[in-house]
A and B are shown apart, each in its own frame.
Chain A
Amino acid sequence: MDILNGLNTPAFELFSVSAIFKLFFLVIIFGYLVYAILLALRVRILNDTVKASSNKFIITLSFLHLVLAIIGSFIAVIFVLIG
Protein backbone atom coordinates (compact mmCIF):
# COMPACT_ATOMS: atom_id res chain seq x y z
CA MET A 1 0.00 0.00 0.00
CA ASP A 2 2.91 2.35 0.69
CA ILE A 3 4.03 1.99 -2.94
CA LEU A 4 0.57 2.96 -4.15
CA ASN A 5 0.55 6.02 -1.91
CA GLY A 6 3.69 7.32 -3.57
CA LEU A 7 2.45 6.82 -7.16
CA ASN A 8 1.83 10.49 -7.87
CA THR A 9 5.08 11.70 -6.29
CA PRO A 10 7.79 12.52 -8.87
CA ALA A 11 11.10 10.66 -8.44
CA PHE A 12 13.00 13.99 -8.56
CA GLU A 13 12.06 17.63 -8.53
CA LEU A 14 12.70 19.19 -11.92
CA PHE A 15 12.45 22.77 -10.72
CA SER A 16 14.25 22.52 -7.40
CA VAL A 17 16.83 25.14 -6.44
CA SER A 18 19.56 22.58 -6.96
CA ALA A 19 18.35 21.71 -10.50
CA ILE A 20 18.17 25.38 -11.49
CA PHE A 21 21.73 25.99 -10.29
CA LYS A 22 22.93 22.85 -12.07
CA LEU A 23 21.36 23.97 -15.34
CA PHE A 24 22.81 27.47 -14.91
CA PHE A 25 26.34 26.17 -14.32
CA LEU A 26 26.10 23.68 -17.19
CA VAL A 27 25.15 26.52 -19.57
CA ILE A 28 28.13 28.54 -18.28
CA ILE A 29 30.48 25.57 -18.85
CA PHE A 30 29.17 25.10 -22.39
CA GLY A 31 29.65 28.83 -23.17
CA TYR A 32 33.10 28.72 -21.61
CA LEU A 33 34.14 25.79 -23.82
CA VAL A 34 32.87 27.48 -26.98
CA TYR A 35 34.76 30.65 -26.00
CA ALA A 36 38.00 28.71 -25.40
CA ILE A 37 37.75 27.07 -28.84
CA LEU A 38 37.01 30.40 -30.58
CA LEU A 39 39.95 32.02 -28.77
CA ALA A 40 42.32 29.28 -29.94
CA LEU A 41 41.10 29.69 -33.54
CA ARG A 42 41.49 33.49 -33.44
CA VAL A 43 45.00 33.22 -32.00
CA ARG A 44 45.92 30.89 -34.86
CA ILE A 45 44.77 33.52 -37.38
CA LEU A 46 46.49 36.42 -35.61
CA ASN A 47 49.67 34.39 -35.35
CA ASP A 48 49.94 34.59 -39.13
CA THR A 49 49.17 38.31 -39.13
CA VAL A 50 52.05 39.37 -36.88
CA LYS A 51 54.94 36.94 -36.73
CA ALA A 52 57.47 37.18 -33.94
CA SER A 53 59.89 34.87 -32.19
CA SER A 54 57.61 34.94 -29.14
CA ASN A 55 54.72 33.48 -31.15
CA LYS A 56 55.83 29.94 -30.31
CA PHE A 57 55.13 30.72 -26.68
CA ILE A 58 51.74 32.17 -27.61
CA ILE A 59 50.75 29.08 -29.62
CA THR A 60 51.83 26.81 -26.76
CA LEU A 61 49.89 28.91 -24.27
CA SER A 62 46.81 28.86 -26.50
CA PHE A 63 46.98 25.06 -26.85
CA LEU A 64 47.55 24.55 -23.10
CA HIS A 65 44.63 26.83 -22.34
CA LEU A 66 42.34 24.85 -24.64
CA VAL A 67 43.41 21.52 -23.12
CA LEU A 68 42.96 22.91 -19.61
CA ALA A 69 39.53 24.29 -20.54
CA ILE A 70 38.38 20.90 -21.84
CA ILE A 71 39.72 18.92 -18.86
CA GLY A 72 38.53 21.58 -16.38
CA SER A 73 35.06 21.66 -17.91
CA PHE A 74 34.83 17.88 -17.69
CA ILE A 75 35.75 17.95 -13.99
CA ALA A 76 33.35 20.86 -13.35
CA VAL A 77 30.48 18.99 -15.07
CA ILE A 78 31.08 15.96 -12.84
CA PHE A 79 31.04 18.07 -9.68
CA VAL A 80 27.95 19.98 -10.77
CA LEU A 81 26.04 16.82 -11.70
CA ILE A 82 26.79 15.00 -8.45
CA GLY A 83 25.49 18.15 -6.78
Chain B
Amino acid sequence: MNDLLTKLSKTNKTFVDRLQGSIGASNLGTFCAFPEEVEFNGQESEEHIILLVRQHLAVLIPQYLVIIILLLAPILFFFIFRGMPEIGFGLMFGSGFICWLVALSFAVDTFFKWYFTVNIITDQRVIDVDFDNVLYHKFSEATLEKIEDVSHAPAGLLSSIFDYGDVFLQTAGTEPEFKFKGVPRPRDVQDTLLDLIEMADKGQI
Protein backbone atom coordinates (compact mmCIF):
# COMPACT_ATOMS: atom_id res chain seq x y z
CA MET B 1 0.00 0.00 0.00
CA ASN B 2 2.86 2.38 0.83
CA ASP B 3 4.34 1.71 -2.62
CA LEU B 4 1.09 2.74 -4.25
CA LEU B 5 0.89 5.90 -2.14
CA THR B 6 4.45 6.82 -3.06
CA LYS B 7 3.71 6.14 -6.72
CA LEU B 8 0.55 8.23 -6.63
CA SER B 9 2.28 11.06 -4.77
CA LYS B 10 4.81 11.36 -7.61
CA THR B 11 2.03 12.00 -10.13
CA ASN B 12 1.25 15.40 -8.54
CA LYS B 13 -2.47 14.70 -8.60
CA THR B 14 -4.56 16.83 -6.26
CA PHE B 15 -6.58 13.93 -4.87
CA VAL B 16 -3.54 12.51 -3.04
CA ASP B 17 -3.24 15.72 -0.99
CA ARG B 18 -6.98 15.79 -0.37
CA LEU B 19 -6.95 12.24 0.96
CA GLN B 20 -3.85 12.64 3.16
CA GLY B 21 -5.88 13.49 6.28
CA SER B 22 -8.03 10.38 5.99
CA ILE B 23 -5.25 7.83 5.61
CA GLY B 24 -5.32 5.30 8.41
CA ALA B 25 -8.88 6.13 9.46
CA SER B 26 -10.87 3.23 10.90
CA ASN B 27 -12.61 1.10 8.30
CA LEU B 28 -15.73 1.50 10.46
CA GLY B 29 -15.79 5.17 9.48
CA THR B 30 -17.49 7.10 6.72
CA PHE B 31 -14.42 8.26 4.76
CA CYS B 32 -11.37 6.05 4.78
CA ALA B 33 -8.45 6.54 2.39
CA PHE B 34 -6.14 3.61 1.63
CA PRO B 35 -7.88 1.37 4.19
CA GLU B 36 -5.94 -1.53 5.69
CA GLU B 37 -7.49 -4.98 6.14
CA VAL B 38 -10.39 -4.40 3.76
CA GLU B 39 -11.13 -6.72 0.84
CA PHE B 40 -14.11 -7.25 -1.41
CA ASN B 41 -15.42 -10.16 -3.39
CA GLY B 42 -13.55 -10.45 -6.69
CA GLN B 43 -10.61 -8.23 -5.75
CA GLU B 44 -7.52 -8.92 -7.84
CA SER B 45 -4.22 -9.67 -6.09
CA GLU B 46 -2.59 -6.47 -7.40
CA GLU B 47 -5.62 -4.28 -6.91
CA HIS B 48 -5.52 -1.68 -4.13
CA ILE B 49 -8.39 0.11 -2.46
CA ILE B 50 -7.86 3.85 -2.60
CA LEU B 51 -11.03 5.13 -0.99
CA LEU B 52 -13.85 3.58 1.01
CA VAL B 53 -16.88 5.76 1.69
CA ARG B 54 -20.15 5.22 3.48
CA GLN B 55 -23.13 7.48 4.01
CA HIS B 56 -22.61 10.45 6.29
CA LEU B 57 -24.11 9.80 9.74
CA ALA B 58 -26.32 12.88 9.35
CA VAL B 59 -28.19 11.09 6.53
CA LEU B 60 -29.57 8.78 9.20
CA ILE B 61 -31.26 11.53 11.25
CA PRO B 62 -34.80 10.33 10.27
CA GLN B 63 -33.89 6.85 11.52
CA TYR B 64 -32.65 8.29 14.84
CA LEU B 65 -36.02 10.02 15.23
CA VAL B 66 -37.92 6.77 14.57
CA ILE B 67 -35.82 5.02 17.24
CA ILE B 68 -36.59 7.78 19.77
CA ILE B 69 -40.33 7.56 18.94
CA LEU B 70 -40.28 3.76 19.35
CA LEU B 71 -38.49 4.09 22.70
CA LEU B 72 -41.12 6.56 23.90
CA ALA B 73 -44.10 4.62 22.47
CA PRO B 74 -44.67 2.58 25.69
CA ILE B 75 -45.67 5.82 27.43
CA LEU B 76 -48.32 6.33 24.74
CA PHE B 77 -49.52 2.72 25.17
CA PHE B 78 -49.73 3.27 28.93
CA PHE B 79 -52.05 6.27 28.49
CA ILE B 80 -54.19 4.47 25.88
CA PHE B 81 -54.55 1.25 27.88
CA ARG B 82 -55.13 3.05 31.20
CA GLY B 83 -58.65 3.90 30.07
CA MET B 84 -59.44 0.27 29.15
CA PRO B 85 -60.30 -1.88 32.17
CA GLU B 86 -60.08 -5.09 30.07
CA ILE B 87 -56.38 -4.55 29.45
CA GLY B 88 -54.23 -5.94 32.25
CA PHE B 89 -50.71 -5.10 33.33
CA GLY B 90 -49.25 -7.99 31.33
CA LEU B 91 -50.56 -6.75 28.01
CA MET B 92 -49.62 -3.17 28.85
CA PHE B 93 -46.07 -4.12 29.77
CA GLY B 94 -45.86 -6.63 26.88
CA SER B 95 -46.77 -3.98 24.31
CA GLY B 96 -44.14 -1.61 25.72
CA PHE B 97 -41.58 -4.39 25.72
CA ILE B 98 -42.33 -5.15 22.05
CA CYS B 99 -41.77 -1.48 21.20
CA TRP B 100 -38.36 -1.55 22.87
CA LEU B 101 -37.48 -4.77 21.01
CA VAL B 102 -38.52 -3.21 17.71
CA ALA B 103 -36.53 -0.06 18.56
CA LEU B 104 -33.45 -2.16 19.25
CA SER B 105 -33.88 -4.12 16.03
CA PHE B 106 -34.46 -0.95 14.04
CA ALA B 107 -31.24 0.51 15.46
CA VAL B 108 -29.27 -2.65 14.64
CA ASP B 109 -30.85 -2.84 11.18
CA THR B 110 -29.99 0.82 10.50
CA PHE B 111 -26.41 0.20 11.57
CA PHE B 112 -26.07 -2.86 9.33
CA LYS B 113 -27.55 -1.02 6.35
CA TRP B 114 -25.15 1.87 6.93
CA TYR B 115 -22.16 -0.46 7.38
CA PHE B 116 -22.79 -2.59 4.29
CA THR B 117 -23.94 0.22 1.99
CA VAL B 118 -20.41 0.97 0.96
CA ASN B 119 -18.69 2.58 -2.02
CA ILE B 120 -15.18 1.48 -2.85
CA ILE B 121 -12.79 3.12 -5.30
CA THR B 122 -9.77 1.05 -6.28
CA ASP B 123 -6.96 1.71 -8.76
CA GLN B 124 -8.88 -0.38 -11.30
CA ARG B 125 -12.61 0.03 -10.67
CA VAL B 126 -15.49 1.38 -8.65
CA ILE B 127 -17.67 -0.82 -6.42
CA ASP B 128 -21.12 0.18 -5.21
CA VAL B 129 -22.82 -2.04 -2.62
CA ASP B 130 -26.40 -1.11 -1.72
CA PHE B 131 -28.10 -2.84 1.19
CA ASP B 132 -31.64 -1.50 0.97
CA ASN B 133 -33.59 -4.14 2.90
CA VAL B 134 -33.23 -7.63 4.33
CA LEU B 135 -34.48 -9.27 1.14
CA TYR B 136 -32.38 -7.31 -1.34
CA HIS B 137 -28.87 -6.02 -1.83
CA LYS B 138 -27.03 -4.91 -4.95
CA PHE B 139 -23.36 -5.22 -5.82
CA SER B 140 -22.37 -3.14 -8.86
CA GLU B 141 -18.96 -2.49 -10.31
CA ALA B 142 -17.46 -0.62 -13.23
CA THR B 143 -13.89 -0.35 -14.41
CA LEU B 144 -12.37 3.14 -14.42
CA GLU B 145 -12.13 3.05 -18.24
CA LYS B 146 -15.91 2.70 -18.52
CA ILE B 147 -16.71 5.77 -16.43
CA GLU B 148 -17.46 8.72 -18.69
CA ASP B 149 -18.66 11.42 -16.37
CA VAL B 150 -18.55 12.17 -12.65
CA SER B 151 -20.66 14.80 -10.91
CA HIS B 152 -21.79 15.60 -7.40
CA ALA B 153 -24.82 17.31 -5.96
CA PRO B 154 -25.21 18.36 -2.35
CA ALA B 155 -28.95 18.64 -1.81
CA GLY B 156 -30.84 20.05 1.14
CA LEU B 157 -30.13 21.99 4.29
CA LEU B 158 -28.53 19.11 6.18
CA SER B 159 -26.07 18.40 3.37
CA SER B 160 -24.92 22.04 3.50
CA ILE B 161 -24.48 21.90 7.26
CA PHE B 162 -22.70 18.54 7.40
CA ASP B 163 -20.96 18.65 4.01
CA TYR B 164 -22.29 15.55 2.33
CA GLY B 165 -23.95 14.87 -1.02
CA ASP B 166 -24.60 12.43 -3.82
CA VAL B 167 -21.90 11.54 -6.36
CA PHE B 168 -23.10 10.38 -9.78
CA LEU B 169 -21.04 8.26 -12.14
CA GLN B 170 -22.15 7.92 -15.73
CA THR B 171 -20.82 4.78 -17.35
CA ALA B 172 -20.46 3.93 -21.02
CA GLY B 173 -23.12 2.19 -23.05
CA THR B 174 -26.36 0.98 -21.61
CA GLU B 175 -24.97 0.35 -18.16
CA PRO B 176 -26.85 2.11 -15.38
CA GLU B 177 -25.62 5.19 -13.62
CA PHE B 178 -23.83 4.70 -10.32
CA LYS B 179 -24.88 6.77 -7.37
CA PHE B 180 -22.95 7.21 -4.13
CA LYS B 181 -25.74 8.37 -1.83
CA GLY B 182 -25.10 10.92 0.92
CA VAL B 183 -21.33 10.48 1.08
CA PRO B 184 -19.13 12.92 3.02
CA ARG B 185 -16.80 15.30 1.13
CA PRO B 186 -18.37 14.67 -2.30
CA ARG B 187 -15.94 17.10 -3.98
CA ASP B 188 -12.99 14.99 -2.80
CA VAL B 189 -14.67 11.80 -4.02
CA GLN B 190 -15.29 13.40 -7.42
CA ASP B 191 -11.73 14.74 -7.65
CA THR B 192 -10.32 11.32 -6.72
CA LEU B 193 -12.39 9.59 -9.36
CA LEU B 194 -11.59 12.10 -12.11
CA ASP B 195 -7.85 11.93 -11.37
CA LEU B 196 -7.90 8.14 -11.32
CA ILE B 197 -9.84 7.99 -14.60
CA GLU B 198 -7.29 10.32 -16.19
CA MET B 199 -4.43 8.21 -14.90
CA ALA B 200 -6.09 5.02 -16.13
CA ASP B 201 -6.57 6.58 -19.58
CA LYS B 202 -2.86 7.46 -19.70
CA GLY B 203 -1.90 4.00 -18.47
CA GLN B 204 -0.27 5.40 -15.33
CA ILE B 205 -2.09 2.90 -13.09
Q: Cβ of A80 and Cβ of B116 under 8 Å apart?
A: no
Taking CB atoms, residues of chain A closer than 8 Å to B135 are 38, 42
Contact with A along B100-112 (1 / 0, CB 8 A): 0110110011011
Q: Report the separation of the CA atoms of residues A75 and B129 in the bound assembly, to the nearest whole angstrom.
A: 36
Q: Is B72 an interface residue (CB 8 A)?
A: no
Contacts A50-B38, A83-B87; is A65 near B28 (CB within 8 Å)? Answer: no
Q: Report the separation of the CA atoms of residues A53 and B40 in the bound assembly, to the nearest whole angstrom.
A: 12
Smallest Cβ distance from A26 to chain B, in angstroms? 10
Q: Is B24 an interface residue (CB 8 A)?
A: no
Within 8 A of B (CB), among A21-76: 21-22, 25, 28-29, 32, 35-36, 38-39, 42-43, 45-46, 48-54, 57-58, 61-62, 65, 68-69, 72-73, 75-76
Q: Is B131 an interface residue (CB 8 A)?
A: yes
Taking CB atoms, residues of chain A closer than 8 Å to B38 are 50-53
| Chain A residue nearest to B97 in the complex (CB) | A76
Taking CB atoms, residues of chain B closer than 8 Å to A32 are 98, 101-102, 105
Q: Cβ of A46 and Cβ of B116 under 8 Å apart?
A: yes
A79's partner among B41, B91, B105, B118 (CB-CB below 8 A) is B91
Q: Cβ of A51 and Cβ of B87 under 8 Å apart?
A: no
Q: Cβ of A53 and Cβ of B93 under 8 Å apart?
A: no
* Contact surface of B with A, Cβ cutoff 8 Å: 26-28, 35-41, 84, 86-88, 90-91, 93-95, 97-98, 101-102, 104-105, 108-109, 111-112, 115-116, 118, 120, 129, 131, 134-135, 137, 139
* Contact surface of A with B, Cβ cutoff 8 Å: 16-18, 21-22, 25, 28-29, 32, 35-36, 38-39, 42-43, 45-46, 48-54, 57-58, 61-62, 65, 68-69, 72-73, 75-83
